[in-house]
Structure 1
Amino acid sequence: MPHGRRGRLGAAGVAAALALCLGTGIVRPAVAEAASTDRATLAAWWAPVNFQDVDTTGETALGGKSDYITSYDYDGDLNGRNNWENTSQFPLAAHVYYSVVQTPSFTYLLYTYFHPRDWSDGVLDNYQEDLSEHENDSEGALVVVANDGSTYGKLEAAITVAHSNFYSWVPDGSDFTSGQESVDGTLPLKSDPHGDGHGRPFITQQPNTHAAWAEGYLSRERSEYASGDGVVYYPGSTAEVPDSANDRDVQYTLTDIFASNGMWANRGLTSLFATTNNFAGDDSGNPYGAKCGAGGVLGPANGTCDTDAANPPWAWDDGDDLPGRGYLATDPAELVWDYFDWSGKPSSPDVAYTWDQYNGITS
């Protein structure tokens, strides 16, 4: 499932492929492959740098391991109900899921960060943290790129997911401004040591509940990045495991949500999804240590462990905005049109999608 950056099919290659196919009357496969390569390359180019703050407090933390990002099948199976237990038993190699939706004007790149645990140390010391726990956790970020004719387009905005709230950000040089939702701040860019050094969106995730923000927005995460502990994840060619709770160079690989036998294909698999909109997660005991619910403020006997609580990206929802449930993934053009204003913005959302696999559009 995971893969690194794929090479672009140049103009000469496209022409040659078309010429070969025209002789047999088969044109579509060559065109579709070229487009697929371009989308994967865009996803790799704009993949964020992610500072994951880490909490090492208490048995549930596993010395910080409970905050590492990984895949939902890190333990070798497609059973979402044993991910809490197995966190201590398997290495948490870094994977990030992505999907691409396109219109003629924009490319919408969605990145999903998965953790086996959403957990608590019983102390409310960070914004949007809570004292409940649940098996599996899924947060993320939408990166908005204008198709301006350049090789990789122009980065215009990002929206991050913090549970049931979305937060919007614009980088320096963007002409995006507040729309129906207020822009929450500046999206910083950070280069990485594993590519050509171009600026990537720089985001952060809180420990415990893994809400996502633009790096530097929260004072605690800004302080932790500067002088505390945490893991800095960079896109790369290898799915690495952090050496410690303060590892500042860990590579992750990208996994297409629509890969064969991948997340979208398995949305009806009841061992992984309780419903098509909820990862399967239970409140069973843990033979290897603290069970789900033990880390809350009420302790092991009375702690709260919510079941089937994590949503895949096509079910993410901001409870008080206008766009519908899942639009961040499935209908991003309408959501972005509502969230932002920009020069040349059309009078209604441009939903003439040329590529949207969530809705079966693969022209």
Structure 2
Amino acid sequence: MLDRSSTTGRSRIARALTAAGAVVTLAAAHLAAPAPASAAVSRAELALRWAPIHYQDVDATGSHALGGQADYIARVDFDGDLNGRNNWDRAGQAGTSLAAHAYYSVVETNTHWYITYLFFHPRDWTDHPFFETEHENDGEGVLFAIERDGSPYGVLRAAVTVAHSDFYSYTPSGSTWTSGRESVDGTLQFQTSPHDTFSHPVTAQEAQGHGLKAYPQYSINGDGLVYYPSTVAETPSNGNDRDVRYRLVDIFAADGLWAQRANATLFVSLGTFAGDTSGDCGSGTFGCSTNSANAPWGWDDGNDVPARGELASDPAELSVEYFTIPGGLTRTYTYNPYAGAAAALAEAARTAPPTVD
């Protein structure tokens, strides 16, 4: 699982032009670049093609901000180990790496691909003493539902994002999917990446608490980072770097997060990261909570029908609850490593206490 891949010293002459690139709303059916008819893309290629261009707001105020670095996305093992209980303390320390990474998982049916992306931060923090708590570790993300229409990468039909303990749903302009049990919360926009030939969906996270929505429902307010999907991982040059490439990490890799799900130093229970109150977490604020961040198989909107973790583990079920889908879709998976632990996931959903994110 450990990976020290990063790129440094890259010239950023074109950054101003990149930052000025317009975000445009496009029909998703027109997004896939042509490929040979015989080419079958891998899951890694599929995840890279649909990975979002990601806007991260940055706040540099307060001692817990680490000069803005507390808002950088990172690997879970950015500090060289898989101990979830020392991440708050080690964030920003010399010898640790804030090279940009994001995690993904792909599950499949005969009609759709479902790709979940996780953006991890070592801290969920605040700079004032009232109302909000802090906690060690922070994991929020997005699900993309992609129809297998015969083209190499399919057509992106809908997205559901995770902002703390709530889910928000979006559809691209021209999508055939409409509101279902849940109302669609907005239009998913797309932007062309300067690093490949594709237009990518655009997501954004707020500073401090890192709730994630479709851009521009969150955006950059002052300083901020723009992350672009890539095969390399860059460390931001500062808290206002508008061209940072991030590398994708497969959750289902042999030594990946899913393989570590029973690692008691990383997870306190199925889908919940271990986190304590060590260091200055909660100092000068309302408080510091423990074990309060979740991996995708622990994400839950308690007010909605889908069970805890189903955004990642049973996205077809979540899709039919959230959206009206012409012709429906199949619920039978042809590839879903999460399903091997379906009983454990269901039991965890019934017995796990609520977590705060």
Q: If the TM-score is normalised by the length of the shorter chain, which range does it land in?
A: 0.7 to 0.9
Corresponding position of 1:183: 184
Summarize the alignment of residues 21-60 of structure 1 with structure 2, pairs less than 5 Å apart.
38-60=42-64
Unpaired segments ≥5 residues, structure 2: 7-34, 342-357
Letter paired with 1:213:
K
Which one of 273, 293, 298 corresponds to residue 282 of structure 2? 293
Match for residue 314 of structure 1?
297
Q: CA deviation at 1:329?
A: 0.3
Structure 1: runs of 5 or more not aligned: 14-33, 125-129, 297-302
Displacement, 1:279?
0.7
**Kindly tell me: are residues 123 and 184 of structure 1, through their superposed partners in 2, closer, same or farther at Cα, counting changes over 3 Å?**
farther
Query: SS at the partner of 2:44?
Result: helix
SS in 2 for 1:248: coil
Q: Does 1:211 align with 2:211?
A: yes
Q: Is residue 327 of structure 2 the alignment partner of residue 344 of structure 1?
A: yes
Q: CA-to-partner distance for each residue in 1:80-109, whole Å, 9 max, x for gaps?
A: 111001102123111100000111111100
Q: Is the 8 A contact 2:146 2:155 kept in 1?
A: yes
SS of the residue aligned with 2:66? Answer: helix
Question: Which of residues 92, 95, 115 is equivalent to 2:98?
Answer: 92
Partner Cα distance (1:116, 1:261) in 2? 20
The aligned residue for residue 147 of structure 2 is 146
**Aligned residues of 1:133 and 1:295 also touching (Cα < 8 A):** no
8 Å Cα contact 1:119-1:295 kept in structure 2: no
Report the equivalent of 2:136.
135
- Of the three residues 104, 117, 121, the one matched with 1:115 is 121
Q: CA deviation at 1:343?
A: 2.1
Q: CA deviation at 1:307?
A: 0.7
Aligned to 1:127: none
Task: Kindly provide the amino acid, as one letter, of the partner of residue 243 in structure 1.
Answer: S
Inter-CA distance 51–262: structure 2 relative to 1 (3 Å threshold)? same
Residue 360 in structure 1 maps to residue 340 in structure 2: yes
Alpha-carbon spacing, 1:327–1:59, altered in 2? closer, same or farther (3 Å) = same
Matches within 5 A, 1:261-276: 261-276=255-270
Deviation at 1:216, TM superposition (A): 1.1
8 Å CA contact 2:129–2:284 kept in 1: the answer is no
Q: Distance in 2 between matches of 1:144 and 1:278?
A: 24
Residue type of the alignment partner of 2:250 = D
Paired residue for 1:166?
167
Contact kept, 8 Å, 2:157 with 2:175, in 1: the verdict is: yes
SS in structure 2 at match of 1:182 = coil
Aligned-pair identity (%): 52
User: Residues 245-256 of structure 1: matches in 2 within 5 Å?
Assistant: 245-256=239-250
Alignment of 1:271-286 (within 5 A): 271-284=265-278, 286=279
Question: Any idea what the Cα deviations from partners look like across 1:152-190, whole Å, max 9, x if unmatched?
Answer: 100111110011100001111211110000000000101
Given that 1:120 and 1:295 are in contact with CA atoms closer than 8 Å, whether structure 2 keeps it comes out as no
SS of residue paired to 2:312: helix
- Report the aligned-residue RMSD: 2.1
Query: 1-side partners of 2:271 and 2:44: how far apart?
Result: 25
SS at match of 1:160: strand
Mapped to 1, the partners of 2:275 and 2:284 lie a distance apart of 16
**8 Å CA contact retained: 1:119, 1:133:** yes
TM-score by length of 2: 0.82
Distance 1:123 1:57, change over 3 A: farther
Structure 1 runs, 4 residues or longer, greater than 6 Å off: 9-13
Query: Which residue identity lines up with residue 303 of structure 2 in the other structure?
Result: D
Structure-1 separation of matches of 2:57 and 2:104: 21
| Paired AA for residue 293 in structure 1 | G
In structure 1, distance between residues paired with 2:333 and 2:38: 27
Q: Aligned partners of 1:145, 1:164: CA distance in 2, in Å?
A: 24
**Bigger Rg, structure 1 or 2:** 1
| Partners of 1:60 and 1:295 within 8 A in 2 | no
The equivalent residue for 2:67 is 63
| Cα distance in 1, alignment partners of residues 199 and 177 from structure 2 | 18
Q: 1:50, 1:233 within 8 Å by CA — same for their partners in 2?
A: yes
Q: Normalized per residue, which structure has more helix?
A: 1
Residue in structure 2 matching 1:106, options 100, 109, 112: 112
